[in-house]
Each structure stands twice: as C-alpha cells, then as structure tokens.
Structure 1
Amino acid sequence: MKVSLIGRTTAVLALGALTLTACGGGGTLTGAGASSQEAAMTAWTNGASENADVEVRYSPDGSGAGREAFLAGGADFAGSDAIMSDDEYESSQEICGPDGAFHVPAYISPIAVAFNLPGVDHVNMNAETIAKVFNGEITTWDDPEIAQQNPDADLPDTNITVVHRSDESGTTENFTEYLHAAAGDVWTDEASESWPVSGQENAQGTSGVVSTVSGTEGAITYADASAVEEGGDLGTVSVGVGGEYVDLSAEAAATAVEASTVIEGRSDAEMAMELARDTEESGAYPIVLVSYHIYCNEYQDQDTADAAKAFGLYVVSEDGQNTAADAAGSAPLSESLRSQAEESINGITAAE
C-alpha cells in the first residue's frame, strides 16, 4: 500500500516555522549527480554560502554517477532524477547507518519534448505518437498521425532525428517511465536510465542533447525544460492528456506531482514518489521530473551532519525554492511538501 503525500499528520506542518539556524550550519559539503539540477544548484550553492554558512561543491555528472559516488563515500549527498533501487538502498545502510539514505524532492520541472523545426514553435502529440517518434516508427514530420493532431500547422517532410542521452540518466528513466505507462502498447520497454533503442543519435548530458538538436534540423529530444529554454530557438511538444493538449509549464508539472504517492518499506524520512504518468487530470503535464537530494539519515561526523542539514533546509525553504525557480524555471514545492521535507532533513543525526 502507498501513502499519500498529503496524508502525514498535521503535526508536520508546525515544522514550517523552523529556520536554518536551528541546525547550526557551517562547514563544507560535496555532492554529485543530476545535470538537470545544474542551474538550480548554482543558485543554491551561492544562496547556501550566503544564508546558511555552508560551502557546497557539486559535480553534475548524471544521476547514476552521483548515486554511485554517494554510495562509495565520495560525496556527502547525491542529486538524482531517479529513485535508488532496493539494492542501492541496502548498500546505503553500510555508510548511512541502519536507516540508510533517504530522498527529499528538491527540484520539480517538466521534461520538455523539444525539436528543431524552423518556423514551427509548438506541435501537439498524444502519448502514442510521442512513443512512435522515439521508437522510430514515425520518421518524418509530415506523418499523417502528427498532421491529424496539428491541422493548422505547416509540417515539412523533413526526416525526424531522435537524439537521446548517451549516459545513464534519471531524465531518461523519467521519460521512458512516462512512455511505458502512457503508451505501453507502443512503448514496450520498461523504464530505464539507459536508452533502449539502438541506432539513434546520442549525446552526453542535458546540455549535450540540447546542443545536438539545436544544430540538427528535424531533430527531437527530451530534456529538462530549463535547458531547453536556455537553448533558445527549439520548439516544444504539447502533450495529450485526456481530451486536451497541455503545454509544459512549472504549474502543470506541479499539478501532476500533487497526485503522487510515497514509496514504502524504507526509513520514516523517505519522500521518494511514484508519479501517475497516465493521469488524465485537466491541466497536468505528466512528463515531469522530480529530482531529489539523497542524504544519509546518519552521517559519520557531526560537522557533515550539520552541513547537510543546513544545506538541505535552505534548498527546500521558500527562499531556496524561489531562487531555483528564478534560475531554472522549476516549480516550487507546495507548503505540504516543504513541511514534510523539513521534517525529514531535521532528522539527520551523527554517529559520533
């Protein structure tokens, strides 16, 4: 059974009044992981230095690499667009104490389906059509299935070039999770951090796929919306949900997240979510990325525990979330999520 994100006791709400000074702060912290968070992380590290007295060094090497570094003891926290597997959680108990590690949602953003088609800014596609484009079944922009959903668009016969991540990526896992849930008859592969279709173009990292598509007429990819906006001239797909097409936006992403549930079977601090990718709720954009910060429940020394707590509380604070929104266009956490995140972070302890 899953537990609703809204269903914790009202006592949690009292934690919203806690300030960063409650946990001490100070010190340094190392992190690694999701490149989707890069713009937000730059803003957070600057803000944490000024407001929480913590110096943070973060390497945007990808979600898989970040979790690997964290579990190997090479990073104090990980940024990840994908949830730890059960095996990874068990491994975390070796470095994080008997309760292991836990996830806190830090960054909520739509994943853009972005394309390079001069003169075309928006295209409507339902889930099945998106899946057929990315598995190679639909190969030209004027395909009848695309044209039928875009009667007013002047679509050329340009070939479609699919560009995917070459590295293990939480963005890939989120996108393929959507494809499998919303278009399972077409996209039969399970969700994965590694792209399952061979023979297509690929590039390293979020910036890599955006750059490749920007330089390739007819190309299409999936990437964090903030990177697509920074890329400039790429068009975006409005996604079919129920009887409408929903444009990507922070608000539409937040609407999708509110219908999510928390996974069970881990520590009480756990906030990793299962998202309703096949939702038909009006105004919800289901290709959404919830990127986490992964912390230890128990660190080996008090200084690291204090630094993790101070940085974590700054990130989920109203100021931290608004700072990320300004820098990266992400959706700030709701008051309910913020209160739950503060409770989880405030539970961080030290072994000594």
Structure 2
Amino acid sequence: MNRSILRRAALPAALALSFGLAACSGSNEATTGSGSDESSTSSSLSGSLNGAGASTQTVAQQTWAAGFQGTNPDVQLNYDPVGSGGGREQFLSGAVPFAGSDAFLDDEELAQAQERCVGGNAMDLPTYVSPIAIAFNLPGVETLNLSPATVASIFTGTITTWNDPAIVAENAGVTLPATAITPVHRSDDSGTTENFTEYLHAAAPDVWTAEADGAWPLTGGEAAQGTSGVVQALQGGEGTIGYADESQIAPTELGTVSVKVGEAYVGPTAEAAAAVVDASTEVEGRPEGDIAIELDRTTTAAGAYPVVLVSYSIVCSAYEDAAQGELVKAYMEYVISEEGQNAAAEAAGSAPISEDLRTQITASLDRIGA
C-alpha cells in the first residue's frame, strides 16, 4: 500500500518558542475542573496538553492553540515541531497524547499503537490540507510553468540551467538566464519530501524512477534541515529551487511553479489543493475511526493542484488518563470546527476541510472515552 500523503518535517526549538508554542517537555498529564463538559469551549477544562510532530502544521498549531486557549484559559497547549517522524515516535512511546504527521501510521506503527492506546487504537485524522509550493529564486521571475517531467528532470540533475530548452518551451515570453540550477531538498526524514517524491514518481515515472520516500533518495543538490532550512537556502542562493509548505513560501519574495495538470497549468493555492482531496479516496483496511486518504497525484481535474499534503492529527480512541483523553477530544473538536479551520486558513493559507470530512472526524472523536 502506498502511504501517499506524508511524513516528516522539523523546525528549530527556538522557532517553536518564538511562535509562542513551548517545546514539548515535562508532564503530559491533563485535568479538568468538573470532568463533565467535553466541548472545546468549556471553561471547566484545565491542565496541560502536549503534542509534537510535523513542522508544516506550525502556523496552524499556533493559531489553533490561541483560539482554543481563548475560551479555555486554564489549558496550557504545547506543540513541538520536531517533524512527522519524531512526532509519531513520541506518540507511540506515550510521550505525547497527540501527534501531527504528514504521513498516516503504517501497519507496523498501528500495531504498536494498540499497546500505547490501552486496548483502543490510533486514529489518523486529516486536519490540515495544504499545497506544497515548488519555489525558486530567480530575480525578476515571479512564476514559471513546468510539466511534471520537467520538474523531475530538474531535481534529478538532468536539467542544469534555467535557460534549458525544456523550460523555455513552457514559458514563452519569459527571459530566462543561463544561471546554474541548484536543487534544494530536505536533509531530514520529511513528510513534505515523501509527498513531493510521491508526486514526481506518480506524475513523471519515466524520469523519476525512485519510489516515494521521506528521506531524499538521490545524491547531489543542496540539503537543508527542516522547512525553515529549505526556505533559508532558497533565499540565500540565486538559481535555487526547492519545495516547502506553501504557508512558509507565501511571506517570501520567492517565485513559485504552476505545474501542468491535463492541458493547463495550476498554481499552489488552498482551493486547488482542496480540489485534489475531494477527488481522492480513503485507504481501505484501516482501524475503526481512522481516516487515511490516498491522494490522486495524476488527476487531470480542472483547477486541481496535485503537489499537496494532507497532514494528520494522530490520537488514541482510548487513554489511560481519562482527563487527558477529554482534553485531546476537546482540542481536536476545536481544530476541526469551522472557526478553527477558517482561522488556520487565514493564518497559514491551508484549505478548510469539507463539511462531510468534519462529520467523519467528529464521529471518530466521539470514540474517545466512549
């Protein structure tokens, strides 16, 4: 089974603190004032709730934490953007009660989760949908049209200069320099990398022959740690090209690629990312309450942008500490609420989940403590 969507990411702890989200440390215990109200707006909730995982969710987690704590001032929320792999490891070991991950749990991890979830099971809940921007640094050029094969050829090192005939042919009227191309990839095991390489393998299999992987599978190019490292590398070198969550590219002056979908070129917008998710299906054979999505990377649907990630919140259906489970449930109810999703969309440029998906996730959350 292709895990499709997702895997790992990382930001420095200092950046997490600058966002106001304390690094995940200390106790994960949670308590409630009355223990009777499970809604995300209950002022009776109190205690601390620690999560860890995908750096792609950093801005969204900051936004969700602020909104949730606004109506639950006695709850302290901490999210450590250690990367998807690190988040899953901390969740499975019991170090944190929830994780953010750009990859849903695989079969081995699901088996480990049965012990961690005290007789229940882990549930992958798709709470964050965002385009992955293919970004470049070419002064004076704001956007480029590129087919999947051209993108793959750039990252395999077959195309080495910006005025290569293949790039020129897709960008009539754009003056392209003979500047050398420097592809930038993640040095850490990354969900963004897994999503990006899955897209390349699915959409340009003749050029990109490597399977999807969270670890960059090729030699050459420039490696950078975490989402922030990739953005810094792109900004620091003329002729660079890389990939990162669009929310991290939008505030910069970097150019972005519109990829060829069918006969049109589509840019990395929230609406275009949502269109791909709507056209995709769920993975079969998953545990009850789990919602893992198999993305259609080769879609030709009008307006769809297939270089997308669906990032999950991973929770248990049962917790040894009932109060902790109550906090997890209440926070996730806020995360998927219309208010929470719209707040993240405004702050991070993500695509709000559909009403149908919200209903599905709500049913999953109702399993916690049932």
Q: TM-score, normalised by structure 2?
A: 0.87
Give per-residue Cα distances to partners, 1:299-350, cap 9 Å, x unaligned. 1111110000001000000000011011101111111111111111121127
Instruction: Please state if 1:28 is matched with 2:28.
Output: no
Name 2:167's counterpart in structure 1: 146
1:158-197 superposed matches below 5 A: 158-197=179-218
Name 1:51's counterpart in structure 2: 71
CA contact (8 A) 2:41 2:68 kept: no
CA contact (8 A) 1:52 1:311 kept: no
Give, in whole Å, the separation in 2 of the partners of 1:117 and 1:301: 53
Name 2:329's counterpart in structure 1: 309
CA contact (8 A) 1:52 1:314 kept: no
Across the aligned residues of Structure 1 and Structure 2, the Cα RMSD in angstroms comes to 1.7
* Pairwise CA distance, 1:24: 7.2
Name 2:141's counterpart in structure 1: 120
Counterpart of 2:135 in structure 1: which amino acid? Answer: A
Identical positions, percent? 54
Q: TM-score, normalised by structure 1?
A: 0.91
* Pairwise CA distance, 1:264: 2.2
1:191-340 superposed matches below 5 A: 191-230=212-251, 232-340=252-360
Give per-residue Cα distances to partners, 1:47-67, cap 9 Å, x unaligned. 111134532110001111111
Give, in whole Å, the separation in 2 of the partners of 1:172 and 1:165: 7
1:82-93 superposed matches below 5 A: 82-93=103-114
CA contact (8 A) 1:241 1:285 kept: yes
Give, in whole Å, the separation in 1 of the partners of 2:135 and 2:147: 14
Give, in whole Å, the separation in 1 of the partners of 2:41 and 2:255: 44
Counterpart of 1:60 in structure 2: which amino acid? Answer: P
Give, in whole Å, the separation in 1 of the partners of 2:44 and 2:150: 52
1:128-139 superposed matches below 5 A: 128-139=149-160
Instruction: Please state if 1:62 is matched with 2:93.
Output: no
Q: SS in structure 2 opposite 1:299?
A: coil
Instruction: Please state if 1:96 is matched with 2:137.
Output: no
Q: SS in structure 2 opposite 1:349?
A: coil
Give, in whole Å, the separation in 2 of the partners of 1:58 and 1:65: 12
Q: SS in structure 1 opposite 2:177?
A: coil
Give, in whole Å, the separation in 2 of the partners of 1:332 and 1:52: 23
CA contact (8 A) 1:239 1:247 kept: yes
Give per-residue Cα distances to partners, 1:60-79, cap 9 Å, x unaligned. 01111111111111111110
Name 2:59's counterpart in structure 1: 39
Counterpart of 2:189 in structure 1: which amino acid? Answer: E
Name 1:7's counterpart in structure 2: none
CA contact (8 A) 1:116 1:217 kept: yes
* Pairwise CA distance, 1:185: 1.1
Q: SS in structure 2 opposite 1:79?
A: strand
Give, in whole Å, the separation in 1 of the partners of 2:342 and 2:123: 23
Q: SS in structure 2 opposite 1:150?
A: coil
Give, in whole Å, the separation in 1 of the partners of 2:330 and 2:47: 10
Counterpart of 1:202 in structure 2: which amino acid? Answer: A
Give per-residue Cα distances to partners, 1:243-278, cap 9 Å, x unaligned. 000011100000011011111222220111000001
Asked which structure has the greater RCO (Cα within 8 Å, sep 6+), the reply is 1
Counterpart of 1:212 in structure 2: which amino acid? Answer: A
Give, in whole Å, the separation in 1 of the partners of 2:83 and 2:365: 23
Return 5+ residue gaps in structure 1 as ranges: 2-17
Instruction: Please state if 1:349 is matched with 2:351.
Output: no
Instruction: Tell me which stretches of 4 or more aligned residues in structure 1 moved more than 6 Å.
Output: none
Return 5+ residue gaps in structure 2 as ranges: 2-37
